[in-house]
Structure 1
Amino acid sequence: MLHVVYRSHGGENAKGRPAWYSKHLALLSFLRAVEQCPARGEVVFLNDGPIPRDRLEPMRRHGRVAAITGGSNRASYLAGLRLAVRSEWSDDDVVLFAEDDYLWRPDALTSLSAAAATGRAEYFAPYGVGTHDDVEGRVPQWRRPRAARGEDALPADVVRWVPHESTTSTFAVRVGALRQDHRILVVCCLSGGDFDHTSLLAVQGIPRFRLHDLVSHHPGTSTNPAVRAARAVYLTAFRSAADVVSLRRPSRRRRLAAADPAVCTHMEDGWLAPAPAGQPRYWEDLAAQTHRWAEGRTEGREPLGTR
């Protein structure tokens, strides 16, 4: 059974976005994928603060809405982890943590469910990411899953789930593994920066930070020496802890499988997943198709989220 915790916030940030981006589009594409997934379980919409009505009503029709006052991506993420860990879901089930600025293929959750049913991995990345040169101030780069490098690109309707190194805060995990790894994910979340990358490395038994990264940090925005010193101590402590908890016995190291090609994309400039071979406008076209699908449902007087 595939459960989902969909984390949403009513506001926007200053990130660069493609012209066709909207959080409403992200939700529509997600609902479309959920409706096509026969193995779906509970869907929980974890909303941090007020949500516009055009998004809130489909959420209420489709699943359970839980409101929190987190105030940050990190607080919302930790709340999502707690919700899943404390749920009554079976250890054999899978939970997908989804962010609210992704565009989903209609077959995304079906493909994920099939990968979980037939594969041995504990963690799954519907959208994988590459690594970076430095811990601070890095430029995002896409890297194809390891097993696919050097091979011909796959057509859009063929998805392989192959070993990969990391992903974002949009990932899936077997509930039993999540309950065992919860403390590791919390420690990594407090290590600053792109904690999602750190977390997925740690559960695989890969230390993230070099000695230089533990003692040399980006100074942050404060000009107060005391604040800067406190921040440095905090980051050194939690980055050291993240490296320590990553030193797992081989039998406890997790496996991460990523979709190739990606079954969703982060809608942020510089972070779009590569389009399938021969379809350079794939994600833009999918955005238009998603709107047409939603309009057809509305014209047919069938509310979204009722199937």
Structure 2
Amino acid sequence: MSADPTSRLRILYRHYGGDNDKPRPEYYSKMLALASMLRAVEALDVEPEIVYINDAVSPGPILSLMEQTGEVVPVRGGSDAKSYRAMIDREVARPASPDQFLWFSEDDYLYRRDALQLLTSGLAALPGADYVTMYGSRSLDVASSGPRAVSFAPGGAEGDPGAAITVDGVQWYRAFASTSTYGTRLGTLREDRRLLVLCANSGGPWDRTTSQVLAGYRPFGLAELREDVLPRGSVSAADRGKGLARAAMRVAVTARSLRRQSRRRTLFAADPELISHMEVHDSTTRTVPSAQSAATDWAAIAAETVNWAEGRGIAVTSRVS
């Protein structure tokens, strides 16, 4: 992936002032997530641009730290998809080099100290990458994929070790999907803006849907679409209407996956994972991590981050604000 050497890395950190009821590890807090990102920024040779995209954020320690370390942009989102769309629209309208590299981050990830260093060093060795991610271990089996994407059974670079590109000890491999924490060039974002916004309206795990459509794979099968149109059991008229609207959107999204070969995007991921989604991981929240990723002691990285933060007067105690 070529990036403009004269432009700085730009980090778009999307933060919601509330929280959800997902099961989390004991060390989780949104302040810890923010501190870990700033710790990774400190390790870079060139200071990046940091922009905080804030939805429903009240005054407090997190907002104060954001105001000290970057540009704060309030948005009226109301949902994950809405704040994401607002961020995308704002970025594509910004006058800047199309080769500037953008890193989009959600607010519940824990970063290794060297995560952004390894990301930037890896980019130069990935000329064929349109998108990159530092989380997730599900690898794409390109040879076996047809209209629907197929993943390898072993996670990470283990699925196709001969195809992985190793840079500074990190193996970069073709990934099956990404969350909405990922990186790309501004020019690519501009070209894909309509598709990114459309996919964010498709409901469910729309970030995975986005990855599939960008790569030219059908995100939904007939059985999934039929369930929206003809749900099992009795449903209210309102729910039936929502199902029909969702089905219409998903049909439109699926149609957009029929892309010319030249328009199909490639996604690469890091093995081991360089960031961790701070959820209690089981079969309902993620696929099995690669062996390298499973060996990472994220609790220890959380403790290191707390020590780093406390040394700079940052109290990592607040779960949300």
TM-score range, shorter chain: 0.7 to 0.9
Query: Residue 5 in 1 paired to residue 12 in 2?
Result: yes
In 2 relative to 1, CA 278–262 (structure 1 residues): closer, same or farther, beyond 3 Å?
closer
Match of 1:128, SS?
A: coil
Distance 1:294 1:179, change over 3 A: same
* Corresponding position: 1:191 with 2:188: no
**Aligned in 2, Cα 1:268/1:219: closer, same or farther, shift over 3 Å?**
farther
| Post-superposition offset of 1:129 | 5.0
- Equivalent AA in structure 1 for residue 312 of structure 2: R
Q: CA RMSD in A?
A: 2.7
Aligned to 2:111: 104
* Equivalent of residue 123 in structure 1, options 131, 147, 168: 131
Q: Is 1:56 the counterpart of 2:63 in the alignment?
A: yes
TM-superposed deviation, 1:123 = 0.2
The partner residue of 2:159 within 149, 153, 175 is: 149
Show structure 2 runs of 5+ residues with no match: 1-7, 140-152, 162-167, 315-321
Q: Is the 8 A contact 2:35 2:309 kept in 1?
A: yes
Aligned counterparts, 1:147-296, within 5 A: 147-149=157-159, 158-217=169-228, 225-270=236-281, 271=285, 274=289, 277=292, 280=295, 282-296=297-311
Counterpart residue number, 1:77: 84
Could you list the per-position Cα deviations for residues 38-90 of structure 1 after superposition, in whole angstroms to 9, with x for gaps in the alignment?
Answer: 34532110110124521112211111001122111111111111122112231
Instruction: Tell me the amino acid that sits aligned with residue 122 of structure 1.
Output: D
Q: Secondary structure at the match of 2:311?
A: helix
4+ residue runs over 4 A deviation: 271-281
Paired letter, 1:124: V
Q: 1:164 to 1:198 in 2, by over 3 A?
A: same
Amino acid at match of 2:276: T
Q: Distance in 2 between matches of 1:81 and 1:99?
A: 13
- TM superposition score normalised by structure 1: 0.84
- Check conservation: 2:13, 2:105, Cα contact below 8 A: yes
What is the letter of the counterpart of residue 7 of structure 1?
R
User: Which consecutive residues of structure 1, in runs of 5 or more, have no partner in the other structure?
Assistant: 132-141, 152-156, 300-307
- In 2, Cα distance between equivalents of 1:201 and 1:4: 24
Provide the TM-score with structure 2 as the length reference: 0.81
Moved more, 157-166 or 273-282: 273-282
Does the 8 Å CA contact 1:39/1:113 hold for their aligned counterparts? no
Q: Give the deviation of 1:200 after TM superposition.
A: 0.8
| Paired residue type of 2:313 | T
Alpha-carbon shift at residue 214 of structure 1 (Å): 1.5
Which amino acid in the other structure matches residue 128 of structure 1?
G
Asked if the contact 2:136–2:269 (Cα under 8 Å) also holds between the matched residues in 1, the reply is yes
Partner of 1:44: 51
Matched, 1:297 2:304: no
Which residue type is aligned with residue 265 of structure 2? R
How many residues are paired up? 283
Amino-acid identity (%): 39
Q: For 1:290 and 1:227, how far apart are their aligned partners in 2?
A: 47
Residue 231 and residue 130 in structure 1: after superposition, are their counterparts in 2 closer, same or farther (change >3 A)? farther
Matched residue SS, 2:313: helix
1:40–1:115 distance in 2 versus 1, CA, 3 Å: farther
Q: What CA deviation, in whole Å up to 9, does each residue of 1:169-220 have, x standing for no partner?
A: 1111111111101111111111110000000111111111111211213999
Distance 1:103 1:229, change over 3 A: same
Q: Verify the 8 A CA contact 2:133 2:267 in the aligned structure 1.
A: yes
Does the CA-based 8 Å contact 2:100-2:186 persist in structure 1? yes
1:282 maps to amino acid: D
CA contact (8 A) 1:2 1:94 kept: yes
Amino acid at match of 1:99: E
